[in-house]
Chain A
Amino acid sequence: METAIKTSTIKGKLIFEFETSKLFLFGNTQLRDQAMESFYKQGIPTRNHEEYKYTPISSILKGEFDFSTNKNCTDEQIEPLKFLKEAYNVIIENGIFVEGLSNLENLPKGVTICSLVNAATSNSALFEKHYAQYADIKTDPFIALNTAMTKDGVFIHIAKNVIIEKPIHVIHISTASKSTIIHPRNLIVVDENAQAKIIESFETVDSKAKTFSNAVTEIVVDKHAILDHYKIQDENELGYLMNTTQVIQKKQSVFSTHTFTLSGALVRNNLTLVLDDEHIESHLNGLYITAGNQVVDNHTVVDHRKPNCNSNELYKGIIDGKSTATFNGKIFVRKDAQKTNAFQSNKNILLSEDGTINTKPQLEIYADDVKCSHGTSTGKLDQEKIFYLQARGIGLTNAKKLLMHAFASEVVNTVKIEALCDYIEGKIAKTFE
């Protein structure tokens, strides 16, 4: 890049880091250059940027940041994070796939799980077919930045007709000793008529400084394939997550995604589903429980491009303290997408006077024979219900907890893996203490 850059700003530092390290990064340098160019044009969004109005990214990215990615986690530290007994565990430490900490023995035939770096060469045909094909560098500066700077991540491929019964659990951990920006990149391809369950959890282990993780995951759900996808975001107050998930669905596929945001200083989820053929089914469920000064922002896009598809979205939030939660849900129904059923609902409980909830459903419908609806509600805990419980001898604290659990259960009950459901229940119970 020929442009003079100021290395005093974070943008300048990122560009400088890119220029000095790009030759050592895997994959296509030309793509990385284009991505950096695109990031340079878009810049880091301020609060004047409509899509980032409620996510104070630019203020978080002030100060010194490191770009190196250390690996120092031990088996003992990882063990408690492998909360599913029956699962293939994948460890991504500070954005880097760590084979030694993962458990990938006895993968069924037709299932590939490896580092993205590895996939770029060992699985080059698949990699090139899908990599960076769905997450568009021109649409978002963080996609551009990730595409330019990513060092690694996980590659998961489920071959045609293969059903992997045990869930795949991808554990992202931050263990930074200095303030760090990382760019994990994942590619998940579920081929025709294949089925899988993938859980991504986000944790901090022994972290001493803040980590800004700018992750991008591309997911391909090919025709007749079924994928259940879960995200458990449970970092500590040093964890900042910028999480982009770009999903493409093919004919008659079923994709369900569940996003649980339980802690972390800042979590921004950009989740986009493109329904690119007919008879597709999509489920988007989300639950965010915020407190303190947390900021949680869920932006979702469901893009109905072809006829006869169904999408169903339910996001619920419990907001306490001075935290801010945002839900922005877009649904596009393109001209060709007749007979679309698209539903969206966002419900919130505001527990404190100082908490903020921003909710913005946006429907853009260009077809005329569709069923679409959206609804949002924000309220306090129902006093009538609290009194009913009190009148049976249940104290105010427990009465509120019961009602919060009840509120959350609508989303928790959509989790199909029992052990995961129990784990989330336990985590939720802790956040209510």
Chain B
Amino acid sequence: MLSIKNLHASIDGKEILRGINLEIKAGEVHAIMGPNGSGKSTLSAVLAGRSEYEVTEGEIIYNGINLLELEAEDRAREGIFLAFQYPIEIPGVSNINFLKTAIGEIRAYKGLEPLAAKEFLTLMKEKQKLVEIDKALISRSINEGFSGGEKKRNEIFQMAMLEPKLSILDETDSGLDIDALRIVANGVNKLKSKDNATIVITHYQRLLDYIIPDVVHVLYNGKIVKTGPKELALELEEKGYDFIKEVEEVEA
């Protein structure tokens, strides 16, 4: 589904990603862990199409398409979804209108008829139950006055509504208490299928107790320095990131 080769990216002339290689197949969950500043969020931003980041080398092939040639909205229409680390508030735009517009544009892009109002409402109800989000929140403006946990839950709700093929969860666990974490993880698990893939970006291992990854990658200094099975996450938690830094330095 996703093939990243030798990806280099920088912002304001400063290189953050220094040669990332990553292969993800449909049905898989990949965790990307790493210390602060290792480039985790940059990777998610580059995948989602943030224009401030400049890709200086390498390629990203997604379902046979050169992803780097697509605008952010077209990536979303092709099925890429980024759950933001810091979802922003947009007062004056209701969640409903927002999702209606988004689904309308995605369907038009795919050459599908627009959803009838009734179908849209049914879909909303169904997904709202699935991710256990309060109806009152959905009727409000996007994230306006939401708590941190509510914002994260709203991200997962949007994900459920848009039914992406590749979801990138950027530190979705940060700022969540254990109850909220379970609900969010539960939502993600319910949305998992053999046809879609998930990238879980996190600093801590805890989330991975709830969303079980098939593969764990360790990102350090803009490169993937270690890849392993889910147990790698536990090892990292135990030994800390210094252990990776040491490995890296010895290799260097």
A103 at the interface (CB under 8 A from B): no
Q: Which residue of chain A has its CB nearest to the CB of B158?
A: A392
A95, chain B: closest CB distance, angstroms: 38
> Are A385 and B88 in touch, CB under 8 angstroms?
yes
Q: Which of A386-426 contact B (CB under 8 A)?
A: 387-396, 398-399, 402-403, 405-410
| Residue of B75, B87, B98, B99 with highest tally of chain A CB at under 10 A | B98
Closest to A399 in B: B73
Q: Pick the most buried of A384, A385, A403, A406: most chain B CB atoms within 10 A of its CB.
A: A406
Q: Could you list 10 examples of A-B contacts with CB < 8 Å?
A: A385-B88, A388-B142, A389-B102, A393-B103, A396-B71, A398-B101, A398-B105, A399-B73, A402-B93, A403-B90
CB distance from A39 to the nearest CB of B (A): 44
Proximity bits, B200-230, A CB within 8 Å = 1, else 0: 0000000000000000000000000000000
- One of B48, B51, B93, B99 near A403 (C-beta < 8 A): B93
A323-365 with Cβ < 8 A to chain B: none
Chain A residues with Cβ below 8 Å from B50 are 387
B76 interface residue (CB < 8 Å to A): yes
Interface size class of B (residues with CB under 8 A): 20 to 34
Q: Which residues of B are in contact with A by a Cβ distance under 8 Å?
A: 48-51, 71-73, 75-77, 81-82, 84, 87-88, 90-93, 97-99, 101-103, 105-106, 109, 141-142, 158, 162
- Supposing A396-B73, A402-B101 touch, asked if A391 and B90 sit within 8 A by C-beta, the answer is no
Identify which of B71, B72, B101, B103 gathers the most chain A CB atoms within 10 Å of its CB.
Answer: B72
Residue of B nearest to A406 (CB): B92
Give the total of A residues in contact with B, Cβ under 8 Å.
Answer: 22
Q: How far is the CB of A186 from chain B (nearest CB, A)?
A: 34
Given the known interface contacts A390-B49, A391-B76, A393-B76, the answer about A385 and B90 at a Cβ–Cβ threshold of 8 Å is: yes
Q: Contacts A384-B88, A398-B105: A391 and B93 contacting too (C-beta < 8 A)? A: no
Chain B residues lying within 8 Å of A385, measured Cβ to Cβ, are 88, 90
Docked complex Cα distance between A399 and B102 (Å): 10
The residues of A that contact B105 with a CB separation of less than 8 Å are 393-395, 398
Q: Which 7 A-B pairs have the closest CB atoms?
A: A406-B92, A393-B76, A390-B72, A392-B102, A393-B106, A409-B92, A390-B73
- A393 and B162 within 8 A (CB): yes
With A390-B76, A392-B76 known, 6 other A-B pairs at CB within 8 A are A387-B51, A391-B82, A393-B76, A393-B77, A402-B97, A406-B93
Q: Which residues of A53-87 are within 8 A (CB) of B?
A: none
B77 contacts A407, C-beta separation under 8 Å = no
Interface centre among A393, A402, A410 (most CB of B within 10 A): A393
